[in-house]
């Protein structure tokens, strides 16, 4: 019996991008369904009644919500190739810790960079750069957070790179200047086919951010 895999997603979502990358890394065929977040499909509401959010991975009719949980599920089920989590329990714990750190720091703080002004924005700038620098430190001399190849933390983090033009323009920061190694890592990641074919263009995401800012009245 062939597997049926569906991804309910929204193209600029960094969380959706994580699942796209994981599926691509494992060579899994799936159906991509674009959701209109102002008009959520009955399928989305049925598959994620608790949060009513994307992304949702549906495997043979069973839904998995929360991107990092979905990526771990993919890694555990399709365990024959491209492992995303290391096999050693301690290394796994560190990968989970840093992926969780990305969740706690990058999305919310990044959002504040393009939605806030004045003191709040200044605070966000400081926090964002600190987080990037800490991640850069954690990367160290490794090619990827996963070592020689893409791992769980890389998958968790690289999608946010597509939002950097927006973060930098509206947040008035220059990430390359502050953390050149971080940008070098990001550029290495997007050379990987599973990553590049899963991520939208930075310019396209930037235009999306410009639209949202108008809609929510940030100018």
Partner 1 sequence: MAANQEEVKLLGSVNSPFVCRVQIALKLKGIEYKFVEENLAIKSDELLKYNPVYKKVPVLVHNDKPISESLVILEYIDETWKQNPILPSDPYQRTLARFWSKFIDDKIVAASVKVIHTVNDVKERAKNVEESIEALRILENELKDKFFGGEEIGFVDIAAVFIAFWIPLIQDITGLQFFTAEKFPKLHKWSQEFLNHPIVKENIPPRDTLFAYFKAHYDSLIASK
Task: Supply φ then ψ for residue 83, to 5 degrees.
Answer: -60, 135
Which range binds partner 1 by CB under 8 A, 5-13, 19-27, 89-97, 182-190?
Answer: 89-97
Question: Taking the CB of residue 133, how many other CB atoms lie within 10 A of it?
Answer: 15
Site for partner 1 contains 1 (CB under 8 A)? no
- Contact between 110 and 135 under an 8 Å Cβ cutoff? The reply is no
Q: How far apart are the first and last CA of the chain?
A: 53
Q: Which is nearer to partner 1, 1 or 50 (CB)?
A: 50
Site for partner 1 contains 133 (CB under 8 A)? no
Site for partner 1 contains 92 (CB under 8 A)? yes
Which range binds partner 1 by CB under 8 A, 26-34, 86-94, 153-161, 192-200?
Answer: 86-94
Q: How many helices (H) and strands (E) does the chain have?
A: 11, 4
Task: Tell me, by CB under 8 A, how many residues bind partner 1.
Answer: 22
User: Closest Cα to residue 84, out of 18, 150, 15?
Assistant: 150
Which range binds partner 1 by CB under 8 A, 26-34, 59-67, 153-161, 180-188?
Answer: 59-67
Site for partner 1 contains 97 (CB under 8 A)? yes
Task: Supply φ then ψ for residue 217, to 5 degrees.
Answer: 80, 30
- Contact between 102 and 135 under an 8 Å Cβ cutoff? The reply is yes
Which range binds partner 1 by CB under 8 A, 69-77, 142-150, 165-173, 178-186?
Answer: 69-77
| Interacting residue ranges for partner 1, rule: CB under 8 A | 50, 59, 62, 64-66, 69-70, 72-73, 76-77, 89-90, 92-94, 96-97, 100-101, 134
């Amino acid at each position: 019996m062939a597997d049926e895999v569906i991804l309910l997603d929204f193209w600029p979502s960094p969380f959706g991008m994580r699942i796209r990358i994981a599926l691509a890394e494992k060579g899994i065929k799936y159906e991509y369904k674009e959701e209109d977040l102002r008009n959520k499909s009955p399928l989305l509401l049925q598959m994620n009644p608790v949060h009513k959010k994307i992304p949702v991975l549906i495997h043979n009719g069973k839904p998995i919500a929360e991107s990092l949980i979905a990526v771990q599920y993919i890694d555990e089920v399709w365990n024959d190739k491209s492992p995303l989590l290391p096999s050693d329990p301690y290394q796994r714990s560190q990968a989970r810790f840093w992926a969780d750190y990305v969740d706690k720091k990058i999305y919310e703080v990044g959002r504040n960079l393009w939605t806030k002004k004045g003191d709040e924005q200044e605070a966000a700038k400081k926090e964002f750069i600190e987080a990037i620098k800490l991640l850069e430190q954690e990367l160290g001399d490794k090619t990827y957070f996963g070592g020689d190849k893409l791992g769980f933390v890389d998958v968790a983090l690289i999608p946010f790179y597509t939002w950097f033009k927006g973060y930098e323009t509206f947040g008035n920061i220059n990430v390359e200047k502050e953390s050149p190694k971080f940008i070098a890592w990001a550029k290495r990641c997007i050379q990987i086919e599973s990553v590049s074919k899963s991520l939208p263009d930075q310019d396209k995401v930037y235009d999306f951010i410009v639209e949202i800012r108008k809609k929510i009245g940030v100018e």
